[in-house]
Amino acid sequence: MAASLVGKKIVFVTGNAKKLEEVTQILGDKFPCTLVAQKIDLPEYQGEPDEISIQKCQEAARQVQGPVLVEDTCLCFNALGGLPGPYIKWFLEKLKPEGLHQLLAGFQDKSAYALCTFALSTGDPSEPVRLFRGRTSVRTHAPSPECRRRALYAEMPKAEKNIISHRFRALLELQEYFGSLIPPGASDDHSGQGSREG
């Protein structure tokens, strides 16, 4: 399906210019499409992470009437069966980090993982949405003054942050998928990133 996208523009659903910058940096100059950021209002779907990603991607493609890429991020506690998962944003808003950590107070297992899913649609509703996932283990601990003295993940140099991030791993899957569709030596002819303005 994605072979039809080579050399074309794909709408990356985000209103965050820095997120677009980070994604294009990870994908690199040889990625055969050009990503263009566009903010789109999407319904707040419920369900499992894959189901939510697919529904959001389908709706975004319907609104754009063309190819789209949608990103979703989850934080999953193993002791809670994967919760809060895709609902981490609302859990943090209501409970704050301290309250989120207290949810694990009665469990010996404090392990968690961050899951990033990129959903890709060609824009054709008859074609399935393709998912690319990246997962990174997370060590949880109670918030403390010591945490503030440590190097925050968000403040890491981009190159260092990208190597360990769940987003990096998901985008690597996306990159490899497109790479498998392009004959050797043909990628330079189709690369869209280098021609992107601004």
Binding-site residues for ITP, in ranges, read 14-19, 56, 72-73, 161, 166-167
Domain that holds residue 69: 2-195
Q: What is the pLDDT of residues 8-36, one digit of tens each?
A: 899 999 999 899 999 999 999 889 999 99
- Is the pLDDT at 160 greater than 90? The verdict is no
Rounded to an integer, what is the distance from CA 99 to the centroid of its chain? Answer: 25
- Is the pLDDT at 184 greater than 80? The verdict is no
Lookup: tokens for 84: 């809060």
- Is the pLDDT at 2 greater than 90? The verdict is no
Binding-site residues, in ranges, read 14-19, 44, 56, 72-73, 161, 166-167
The percentage of the chain sitting over the pLDDT mark of 70, rounded to a whole number, equals 77
Mean pLDDT value of segment 120-133: 95
Q: What is the pLDDT of residues 62-81, one digit of tens each?
A: 999 999 999 999 999 999 99
CATH classification of the domain holding 150: 3.90.950.10
User: Structural domain tally of the chain?
Assistant: 1
pTM for the model: 0.79
Mean residue pLDDT of the chain comes to 82
Confidence at residue 155, expressed as pLDDT on a 0 to 100 scale: 45
Band (pLDDT 50/70/90 cuts) for residue 5 is: confident
Mean pLDDT value of segment 158-176: 76
Q: Quick check: bond before 84 cis, omega within 30?
A: yes
Q: What is the pLDDT of residues 40-64, one digit of tens each?
A: 999 989 999 999 999 999 999 999 9
Confidence at residue 146, expressed as pLDDT on a 0 to 100 scale: 45
Binding-site residues for Mg(2+), in ranges, read 44, 72
CB neighbour burial string for 115-149, b if at least 16 within 10 angstroms, e if fewer:
bbbbbbbbbeeeeebbbbbbebeeebeeeeeeeee
